[in-house]
Amino acid sequence: MTILVTGGAGFIGSNFILDWLAQSDEGVIDLDLLTYAGNLDNLAAVRNDDRHVFVQGDIGDKDLVARLFAEYSPRAVVNFAAESHVDRSIHGPEDFMRTNLFGTFTLLEAARNFAATGAPEAGNFRFLHVSTDEVYGSLAPEDAPFSETNRYEPNSPYSASKAGSDHLVRAYFHTYGLPVLTTNCSNNYGPFQFPEKLVPLVIHNALSGKPLPIYGDGKQVRDWLYVTDHCTAIRRVLDRGALGEVYNIGGWNERPNIEVVQTICEVLDELQPRSGGQSYADLITFVKDRPGHDRRYAIDASKIERELGWRPLETFETGIRKTIQWYLENQTWVAKIVDGSYRTWVEKQYA
Ligand code: NAD
Ligand code: DAU
């Protein structure tokens, strides 16, 4: 038995694979294009593990995806592969449409063909699509958190492309009866997150003595979830979720950005004080706001708790401390991204 994970060299996908292989003997086929966000260093711990088969390739490559289904007959697909960074989608949305929309479509088509083959694994097959709370748009301070029945109101090219992919997944269930599950999750943080996202960027800049950029007034609110909690939730939905259903996943940890950054500074002040006795918070710098910046996201995660018995284990305080400790202990991982040498493996493949 095996599962096909896409985007498994990225932040959440690699955490998921490490967690999966630590808990089960079932193998993983990991299909990842290794864009700038894919990093095989994330998977160093399973490099020599026969249960992990890495395939470099595009989820939008129809022939490749069909070949993987035919060769491995996966009992499930977990689709993490995506362009994931909102700022990049504002500056260049094309890759977001290609991967998030067309790539998901290609995978769904391959899954539909596979499910129709009558292979034994096709009988219990499941397609789990990993999506985001950003598809629901922005909340006012007095609004209730997003529930699964909220209207889709995506505001960035990234969230619009994810919303489109969610709609395709829904359509494949209703039209073709493909056994799908969709999860919409809030902001993740933890080990192996590419240092373009707020938490790892702030940790890295602070340790390098660089400004900590806060967009606008810093009062935008996000709901923070430690990545391992997200992985546990996905596993739970894959095991017990009802086909065709959507599950919101969140940490019950709403925080304004400025508070997130101040907390990181306080923990760093304690764990690795700056020379000269200044606080890292002195590096906080307010910069121009992100265009179309959503003001508030918050997840109502009561459906997954009620129906599948999942709740996050980490609070923001415990999760952020673990995360900072991990970055302090793994500064070479960050340094290889900053100097570009984490790409060496990919470049060798293309040489
Ligand atoms: P990431 O950017 O760290 O990783 C994405 C991975 O997908 C990379 O390894 C990349 O190489 C791969 N990839 C990109 N295009 C591909 C393609 N065409 N074919 C195959 N592989 C491709 O992203 P992440 O933060 O780990 O997010 C994973 C998923 O979870 C995404 O679908 C994202 O929308 C969703 N999500 C992320 C968060 C978050 O806070 N990071 C929250 C909710 C949902
Ligand atoms: O909500 C889930 C989403 O969370 C995921 O779907 C996305 O893939 C993921 O990237 C994340 O999106 P955000 O835009 O919320 O994450 P980001 O880390 O880019 O920004 C978090 C908040 O911090 C946001 O309000 C913008 C702000 N920010 C971000 C950066 C990079 C800053 O103020 N300064 C920064 O330098």
Q: At 140, phi and psi to the nearest 5? A: -85, 160
pLDDT tens-digit profile of 95-126? 999 999 999 999 999 999 999 887 767 778 99
Tell me yes or no: is domain 2-260+266-350 CATH 3.40.50.720.
yes
* Residue 247 and residue 181 in contact, taking contact as beta carbons nearer than 8 Å: yes
Residue 66 is encoded by which pair of tokens?
């069909």
What is the reported pLDDT for 25?
92
Instruction: Give the alpha-carbon dihedral of 344, 86, 164, 235, to 10 degrees.
Output: 60
The ligand whose atoms approach the alpha carbon of 290 most closely is: 2
Catalytic-labelled residue, pool 136, 158, 327, 342: 158
- Residue 125, ligand 2, Cβ within 6 A: no
Ligand 1 mutation target, pool 15, 30, 35, most atoms within 8 A of CB = 35
What is the reported pLDDT for 191?
98
How many C-beta atoms lie closer than 10 Å to residue 185's C-beta? 25
What is the reported pLDDT for 344?
81
Catalytic-labelled residue, pool 30, 32, 41, 133: 133
Determine what percent of the chain is predicted with pLDDT higher than 70: 99
How many C-beta atoms lie closer than 10 Å to residue 296's C-beta? 19
Residues of the chain with pLDDT below 70 are 120, 349-351
* Greatest C-alpha distance within the chain: 68
CA-proximal residue: ligand 1, atom 14 (nearest): 82
CA of 13, closest atom in ligand 1: 26
**Strand 212-215 to 76-79 pairing:** unpaired
Residue 339 annotated in active site: no
* Residue 205 and residue 151 in contact, taking contact as beta carbons nearer than 8 Å: no
What is the reported pLDDT for 350?
59
Bridge partners of residue 146, in order along the sequence: 299
- Residue 187, ligand 1, Cβ within 6 A: yes
